[in-house]
Amino acid sequence: MGEPADYAYLGRLPRIDGRGTFLYFAGIQAPATPASPTTYLEELCGEVRTGRFSTIIACRFDPDSRQVTSSERVTPLYRADTRA
Range of the structural domain that residue 43 is part of:
5-73
Contacts of residue 7, Cβ cutoff 8 Å, sequence gap at least 6: 27, 28, 32, 56, 57, 58, 59, 74
Pairwise CA distance, residues 37 & 24, whole Å:
9
Flag whether 48 is in a domain.
yes
**Cβ–Cβ < 8 Å for 57, 43:** no
8 pLDDT more than 80: yes
Looking at the domain assignment, is residue 56 inside a domain? yes
Q: Examine residue 42 and state whether it is found in any structural domain, yes or no.
A: yes
Q: How many domains does the chain have?
A: 1
* In a domain? residue 25: yes
User: Would 79 be classed as within a structural domain?
Assistant: no
* pTM attached to this predicted model: 0.74
Judge whether 80 lies within some domain: no
pLDDT at 82: 55
Helices (H), the chain: 32-48
| Predicted confidence (pLDDT) at residue 60 exceeds the cutoff of 60 | yes
